Structure 1
Amino acid sequence: MDRPYATEHQIAILAVHRASLLTQIVLKTLDQGHLSKPDKSPVTIADFGSQALLISAIHHSFPDDTFVGEENASVLRGDARLRERVWELVCSVHLDGDAESAGLLPALESQDEMLDAIDLGVSTRSREGRVWVLDPVDGTADFMRGGQYAVSLALLEDGVQRVGVVGCPNLDAEAAGFFDGPCGGPRPGVVVSAVAGQGAAVRPMSPSGALLPPRRLPSLPDPPPLPASLRFVDSFSSPTTSLSLHAAIVQALGAPWPPRDLDSLQLRCVALALGRCDAMIRIPHSRERRDWIWDYAGGVLIAEEVGVKFTDAWGKRIDFGTGRKLEENFGWVVAHEGAHGAVLEVVLGLKGT
């Protein structure tokens, strides 16, 4: 008998792999056709094309499920030239092997179908039933510079993570330290995935889209790292958090600063799951700041499956059932399960948090 969520897991891996190949095609063109969203963050044809492929794949197999995605198709509906570019991109991506011939990843038939698929991601609920949460390109600014980024997809059931898949197209599966800096040449990329209660695994990407054998990720070793030896991951370019406050927290623990620098939040979760880092904190400037659900759903599950503990800055569990934003959580405290308490104690003890 198949394990729970085996079909969802398989299709999600195929969908993320195909969408990741699409983003790699865009990178090769050196013309991302970028726009600006109302919040001034960059958006590219890769975001639109990736979201269309992710949603269409899942919707084909699970038509009653709903979606929470970052993009909508309003810009494409009003710009025929841009819409045509995204359509050409979507039509250019195919997986070798049996995935498409078996009907697991059907091709989109028209531009209207593409637009409708993108717009399925506008749901505002994540508490009831089966909801797929996706980020078509996480870390878009780094993506546009040829750096590290992610394609993520997660299944929530009644607000609880069940399946998580994160594609990392610019991570070299063979090279040590492959989280450092922009890629210097072609990368095979990796797909990291997990099913709740079944552990996590990583597999290399194939340029043809063929699924290669996975490697199970080991649980994090015990005993946990001492506070003074924790390796943190952060973003030097985030406009919403205070690096000076983060530095004070890390230095109070006696841990080294500066931390590893990764813009994509999903990639930070992957770095933790792969044991490249031990801890992460994220304290927003504003007490009213709440993070988008798609920046974490899926990646959090993958890291949890190997022994990473996630809470917010108040020590509360992360509630993914609050819609498009994590309305019940402020900030993040993340570390090896055995070291989390020491980090949280310092965060809670610092004035202003």
Structure 2
Amino acid sequence: MKSDFLDTPESGFAIEVLRAGSRLASQVRAESNLTVHCKEDNSPVTVADMGIQAVAGKFIEKYFPAVALVAEENTAGLRKPDENARLEEIVRHVKRLIPEADPAAVCTWIDRGGGEAGELFWTLDPIDGTKGYLRGDQYVTALALIRKGRVEFSALGCPELLLACHEKLGKGVMLLSSRGKGCWASSLEADTPWEKLSVSRCEDIKKARILDSCDPGHKNAEKNAMIKRLLGSHHDPIGMDSQAKHATLAAGGAEIFFRTLPEHDLSCREKIWDVAPGAFAIEEAGGRVTDLNGNPIDYAAGNILKNNPGFVATNGFLHEKVVAAIRETVFPK
């Protein structure tokens, strides 16, 4: 990778967060019973989610003290007296990485993520794919820098991923993408050379490999199967948690990923931290990303991407065919 890409505050911040986050998540999984707490929307959150967000909240003060951080977690429940044990566990893990950590500081760092999605901000998902993390499978720490509704930089830390077409990097990779400079990957832990990623050049829809979410609550499985049949793909879908799917597509390990609206909630819309980091990696690797209607993602909409139903990512060559099949299946006239 060219040195001017690495020698920036954006890359410095991202690499510190991704590497520290990977170590913290591994520590928690090795030493804790991985107690899961449910948030108001019934999604799971662990000590690792909160700890990684605390680390990011601390490091952003070093690199971007005047820039907002828009992140998934907060301490609304954690500050309750009956949550003292959970808070102390989070502090214990953060303290190994940041010695000055204490309960008050950790809560402050976590809540640094309560910033406004305004003209310039970072967005963070400390653990995207918490259910995958709990199973010992794929999960990602995801960051993106957004300026005036446009992603300028993103980072994905994928501790369990052996990156397709770049296996010599070993299991555990990070991806950095910068506007106009491409998408690059290196080892998450070792100082290996950076490798530039490119999407697959496949133009035959029947040979296309389709990525799919493992969580049935994140899709309409019946519609997904109908779309696959309509496309005529000969391959079984590749199930994978988190934005590890986006990294895989950016590296050429698959050609298609789409997320339909779950049958139980057709008004469901994606959160910005679940889309922006991985989508930008795909685009910088030469792919294309839209919503189910084929419209660009509106990152100026705020935390919830209210103007964009669903998500479609492809290697670019197949995008129009995929969107056409989705329109016929999901939005029939």
1:277 aligns with 2:254: yes
Counterparts of 1:152 and 1:270 in 2: how far apart (Å)? 11
What are the within-5 Å matches in structure 2 for residues 279-298 of structure 1?
Answer: 279-284=256-261, 285=263, 286-298=265-277
Counterparts of 2:257 and 2:164 in 1: how far apart (Å)? 24
Q: Which digits, 9 at most, give the CA deviation of each residue in 1:277-298, with x for residues without a partner?
A: 1101111034311111111121
Q: Does the aligned pair in 1 maintain the 2:154–2:176 contact within 8 Å?
A: yes
Cα distance 1:120–1:252, how it changes in 2: closer, same or farther (>3 A)? same
1:259 aligns with 2:237: yes
Q: Which amino acid aligns with 1:293?
A: I
1:82 corresponding residue in structure 2: 86
Give the share of equivalent positions with the same residue, in percent.
29
Alpha-carbon shift at residue 351 of structure 1 (Å): 5.4
1:321 aligns with 2:300: yes
> 5+ unaligned residues in a row in structure 1: which ranges?
94-105, 179-186
Q: Which digits, 9 at most, give the CA deviation of each residue in 1:251-306, with x for residues without a partner?
A: 11110353000121x11111101111110111103431111111112111111111
What are the within-5 Å matches in structure 2 for residues 171-190 of structure 1?
Answer: 171-172=161-162, 188-190=171-173
Q: Does the aligned pair in 2 maintain the 1:12–1:58 contact within 8 Å?
A: no
1:165 aligns with 2:155: yes
Q: Which amino acid aligns with 2:207?
A: S
2:123 corresponding residue in structure 1: 133
4+ long deviations beyond 6 Å: 174-178
The TM-score with structure 1 as length reference comes to 0.86
Q: Which amino acid aligns with 1:277?
A: A
Q: Which secondary structure does the structure 1 equivalent of 2:65 belong to?
A: coil
Higher helix share: 2
Q: Which amino acid aligns with 2:240?
A: L
Q: Which secondary structure does the structure 2 equivalent of 1:251 belong to?
A: helix
Q: Does the aligned pair in 2 maintain the 1:312–1:333 contact within 8 Å?
A: yes
Q: Does the aligned pair in 1 maintain the 2:47–2:89 contact within 8 Å?
A: yes
Q: Which one is further off, 3-12 or 328-337?
A: 3-12
Aligned-residue RMSD, C-alpha? 2.3
Alpha-carbon shift at residue 127 of structure 1 (Å): 4.0
Alpha-carbon shift at residue 215 of structure 1 (Å): 2.4
Alpha-carbon shift at residue 344 of structure 1 (Å): 0.9
What are the within-5 Å matches in structure 2 for residues 182-261 of structure 1?
Answer: 188-206=171-189, 212-222=191-201, 224-256=202-234, 258-261=236-239
Q: Which secondary structure does the structure 1 equivalent of 2:225 belong to?
A: helix
The TM-score with structure 2 as length reference comes to 0.91
2:47 corresponding residue in structure 1: 45
Cα distance 1:214–1:321, how it changes in 2: closer, same or farther (>3 A)? farther
Corresponding pairs, count: 325
1:346 paired residue among 321, 325, 332: 325
Q: Which digits, 9 at most, give the CA deviation of each residue in 1:170-225, with x for residues without a partner?
A: 124699999xxxxxxxx85111111111111111122xxxx613422243354x33
Alpha-carbon shift at residue 108 of structure 1 (Å): 4.5
2:285 corresponding residue in structure 1: 306
Cα distance 1:279–1:175, how it changes in 2: closer, same or farther (>3 A)? closer
Alpha-carbon shift at residue 238 of structure 1 (Å): 2.7
Q: Which digits, 9 at most, give the CA deviation of each residue in 1:72-97, with x for residues without a partner?
A: 0122211211111100000113xxxx
Q: Which amino acid aligns with 1:46?
A: A
Q: Does the aligned pair in 1 maintain the 2:175–2:185 contact within 8 Å?
A: yes
Q: Does the aligned pair in 1 maintain the 2:94–2:101 contact within 8 Å?
A: no
1:335 corresponding residue in structure 2: 314
What are the within-5 Å matches in structure 2 for residues 98-177 of structure 1?
Answer: 108-123=100-115, 125-128=116-119, 130-172=120-162
2:25 paired residue among 2, 23, 26: 23
Q: Does the aligned pair in 1 maintain the 2:279–2:313 contact within 8 Å?
A: no
